[in-house]
């Protein structure tokens, strides 16, 4: 068996504590992961994992060997990266994760342009409206994450590449039936459709108005971790939404949605590219991050920078 492939399998299994997760992250079958680990234990003459119904745990020998494997693989990858940087040609597979609503819209165009500009880099995009800690995307085998909320985690680098504006809106049919709020205070009694995500204050809407920043706590009959799902609910006249401007640009232009209290602008959020701290950031990641910063400078989000 390929010794480096077996070592990579062991390292991934050691970090994920699961043969199934290791197989998914590596893009191989679980049975192959099992064979790799069995081959390694037989060759070394030691048990690397304690198996139980609760999962896998490294043995003392396994923990020591894991550190050795990481050093070896790091040195090999560093040498390959140095050669690649010397040629100035980024190569390899770039694994990116992004929120579904954003990934299906403007970000998808940016990725397509990047793929055309860098034919030697393969793009693997994972979309999902889920909440994760800042470093979890790296543990799941991703190189880069796109975030639309701020983070505070010293284990990652977060580069701001744009600003996301949010618009408070409702359908004309909802306004005709329920009436539009005349001030922010009335929002606390209105059916407001809220996002459930990484921000613990999703139900606290903050606006900048003539008298400064004002926050109001809202609630309503529908919550979702997907902006696309919330947009659908607003279009179905279920209530008032505070939605990303890029997500509702067409509906605002066509009149399907109407802005509520336009004198008050929602405090904008960041558009971030997040990647792990490291001694040497892979050239494919650096090239990608620089590309996105320039791309969004040329193609600002509707209502954004």
Spans of the chain, pLDDT less than 70: 81-89, 129-139, 152-154, 197-201, 278-280, 302-305
Regarding whether 175 and 141 lie in a shared domain, the answer is no
Regarding whether 33 and 19 lie in a shared domain, the answer is yes
Question: What does the alpha-carbon distance between residue 22 and residue 15 come to, in Å, rounded to a whole number?
Answer: 8
Residue 137 maps to a domain: yes
Residue 124's pLDDT is what?
92
Give the structural domain span for 202. Answer: 166-267
Q: Which long-range contacts does 108-113 make (Cβ < 8 Å, 24+ apart)?
A: 109/299, 110/291, 110/292, 110/295, 110/296, 110/299, 113/295
CATH code assigned at 120:
3.40.190.10
Regarding whether 277 and 259 lie in a shared domain, the answer is no
- What is the CB neighbour count within 10 angstroms for residue 111? 19
**Nearest one of 242, 268, 245 to 149, comparing CA atoms:** 268
Residue 153's pLDDT is what?
67
What are the two backbone dihedrals, phi and then psi, of residue 120, each rounded to the nearest 5 degrees? -85, -5
60-95 per-position pLDDT tens digit: 999 999 999 988 888 887 777 666 554 556 788 999
User: Which is it for the CA torsion 23, 24, 26, 29, positive or negative?
Assistant: positive
Residue 142's pLDDT is what?
83
Question: What does the alpha-carbon distance between residue 120 and residue 47 come to, in Å, rounded to a whole number?
Answer: 40
How far does Cα 153 stand from its chain's mean position? 15
User: How many structural domains compose the chain?
Assistant: 3
**Where does 180-219 show beta strands of DSSP type E?**
192-195, 204-209, 212-217
Domain boundary among 42, 62, 86: 86
Question: What does the alpha-carbon distance between residue 44 and residue 217 come to, in Å, rounded to a whole number?
Answer: 60
Regarding whether 286 and 155 lie in a shared domain, the answer is yes
Residue 86's pLDDT is what?
47
Regarding whether 244 and 170 lie in a shared domain, the answer is yes
Question: What does the alpha-carbon distance between residue 248 and residue 226 come to, in Å, rounded to a whole number?
Answer: 13
pTM of the model: 0.65
Regarding whether 221 and 96 lie in a shared domain, the answer is no
Residue 304 maps to a domain: no
Regarding whether 177 and 94 lie in a shared domain, the answer is no
Regarding whether 64 and 105 lie in a shared domain, the answer is no
Residue 210's pLDDT is what?
81
Residue 43 maps to a domain: yes
Residue 305's pLDDT is what?
44
166, 172, 177, 179 alpha-carbon torsion, rounded to 10°: 50
């Amino acid at each position: 068996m390929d010794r480096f492939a077996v070592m990579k399998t062991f390292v991934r299994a050691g970090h994920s504590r699961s043969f199934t997760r290791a197989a998914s992250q590596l893009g191989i079958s679980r049975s192959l992961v099992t064979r790799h680990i069995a081959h390694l234990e037989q060759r070394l003459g030691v048990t690397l994992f304690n198996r139980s119904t609760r999962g896998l745990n490294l043995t003392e020998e396994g923990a020591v060997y894991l550190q050795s494997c990481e050093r070896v693989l790091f040195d090999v990858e560093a040498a390959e990266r140095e050669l690649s940087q010397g040629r100035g040609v980024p190569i390899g597979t770039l694994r990116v994760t992004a929120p579904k609503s954003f990934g299906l819209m403007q970000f998808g165009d940016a990725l397509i342009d990047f793929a055309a500009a860098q034919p030697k880099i393969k793009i693997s995009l994972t979309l999902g409206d889920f909440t994760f800690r800042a470093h979890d995307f790296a543990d799941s085998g991703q190189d880069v994450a796109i975030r639309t909320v701020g983070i505070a985690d010293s284990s990652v680098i977060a580069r701001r590449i744009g600003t996301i504006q949010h618009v408070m809106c409702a359908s004309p049919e909802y306004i005709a039936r329920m009436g539009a709020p005349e001030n922010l205070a009335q929002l606390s009694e209105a059916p407001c459709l809220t996002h459930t995500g990484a921000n613990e204050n999703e139900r606290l809407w903050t606006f900048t108005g003539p008298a400064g920043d004002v926050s109001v706590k809202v609630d309503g009959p529908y919550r979702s971790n997907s902006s696309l799902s919330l947009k659908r609910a607003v279009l179905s006249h279920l209530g008032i939404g505070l939605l990303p401007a890029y997500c509702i640009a067409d509906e605002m232009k066509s009149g399907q949605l109407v802005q509520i209290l336009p004198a008050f602008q929602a405090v904008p959020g960041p558009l971030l590219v997040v990647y792990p701290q490291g001694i040497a950031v892979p050239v494919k990641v650096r090239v990608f991050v620089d590309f996105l910063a320039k791309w969004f400078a040329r193609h600002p989000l509707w209502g954004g920078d």
